[in-house]
Amino acid sequence: MQSGSPVPSAGSLIPTLEGSWYTSSDVFAREREAIFDRDWLCVARTTDFLAPGQFQMVQAGSESVLVVRQRDGGLRAFLNVCRHRGARLCADESGQTGRYLRCPYHAWAYELSGRLAAAPNLARMPDVDRDAYGLIPVALREWLGYAWVCLAARPPSFEDTVVSAVTGRLGDPEAVESYGLGELAVGRRISYEVAANWKLLVENFMECYHCAPIHPELTSVLPEFAGGYAAQYYVGHGAAFADRVTGFTVDGSPGFGRLPGVRDEQDRRYYAVTIRPQVFINLVPDHVIFHRMIPRDAGHTTVICDWLFAADVVVSGQDVSRSVELFDRVNRQDFAACERTQPSMASRAYSGGGVLVPSEHHIADFHAWVRTRLSA
């Protein structure tokens, strides 16, 4: 086979996406339009909005979006664009406003609900419809303690996309609810800047063929991962802790008490879930590790990772460092591997793509999903 030619199917091996899918700015633009501008995206932890008027500016697909706590206690989201002449309404990543969101350019002011409240000389323009010239709303749902937004004018069913991805992986619609994610507290948050395409991160998270070579700490706690089969390869399967391990920590030492809703059959097991296109969830008996990705361009991705513990663990100031260190190491090992792979996506050696071994065959479904979304 000549260098750069397509990789054929050969029994155990099946082909991947071609290298250009990871490097092309055109492909990335199409993905942003066909996937990230149309799907539900996880953008913020709801407990980051404590009081009315507290807001965050988040990137969702091609748009800057404001998520704002309302006076009735709910959350709403809007495009971060003033309706007057298009200035960015808020430039700060987060903050606290009073009664109004005010544009710094011409002082158009909007209620927290998005309705136009005031503007210079507005009283002289009685024909201006304050609802019609309010902020453009963005669909928002709250689930698992996070805010999810969708830019589409007609969002897909949240239950048939986001919720079904979790229940389809765990095999039980109640399995994730038992961890009580909405009641947990953020014990640590780390933001990673990864010089790699977002799809490389998804693929990496879905498989464990790489676990034995690069994750000694993880395979020490979860020895079955050394065999190359990730938890996501089997519906409903959770990887068992090693016999000597008492907690999901960097050295296998005890962590914290089992979360109240975790079932006996979920104890001493690790579950991983991918919610396309940008969320990874890791469930262990005493805490949850929640990743959300923000693709920046074809070769750069931001990953925000929350370690969630029982509220009393966080409020009492207990040391969570051993629990955090385990997956922080896993993250850094994974991201280094993705960054090592990204440059080769532009090589003629990978122009026709690579191959998936049997323990990675489920990644082909992800590749087919991406192809289908872009072709549509």
The residue ranges of every structural domain in the chain are 41-155, 178-375
pLDDT at 10: 54
What is the distance of C-alpha 24 from the center of its chain? 22
pLDDT at 293: 98
pLDDT at 328: 98
CA distance 75 to 72: 9
Query: 274-293 burial string, b = 16+ CB within 10 Å, else e?
Result: bbbbbbbbbbbbbbbbbbbb
pLDDT at 172: 85
User: 178-375: which CATH number, 2.70.180.20, 3.20.20.70, 3.90.380.10, 3.30.70.890?
Assistant: 3.90.380.10
pLDDT at 173: 80
Question: How many Cα atoms sit within 13 Å of 13 on the Cβ side?
Answer: 10
Fold of 41-155: Rieske Iron-sulfur Protein (2.102.10)
Going from the C-alpha of 168 to that of each of 83, 171, 174, the distances in angstroms are 41, 5, 11
Instruction: Going residue by residue through the chain, which has 376 residues, state the pLDDT in tens, using 9 for 90 and above.
Output: 233 444 445 579 999 999 999 999 999 999 999 999 999 999 999 999 999 999 999 999 999 999 999 999 999 999 999 999 999 999 999 999 999 999 999 999 999 999 999 999 998 999 999 999 999 999 999 999 999 999 999 999 999 999 999 999 999 888 999 999 999 999 999 999 999 999 999 999 999 999 999 999 999 999 999 998 887 778 899 999 999 999 999 999 999 999 999 999 999 999 999 999 999 999 999 999 999 999 999 999 999 999 999 999 999 999 999 999 999 999 999 999 999 999 999 999 999 999 999 999 999 999 999 999 999 8
CA distance 166 to 265: 18
Spell out the long-range contacts of 44-52 with Cβ–Cβ below 8 A and sequence spacing 24 or more.
Answer: 44/146, 44/147, 45/145, 45/146, 45/147, 45/186, 45/306, 46/75, 46/142, 46/145, 46/146, 46/147, 46/182, 47/145, 47/185, 47/186, 48/94, 49/75, 51/96, 52/112
pLDDT at 301: 98
pLDDT at 116: 97
pLDDT at 114: 98
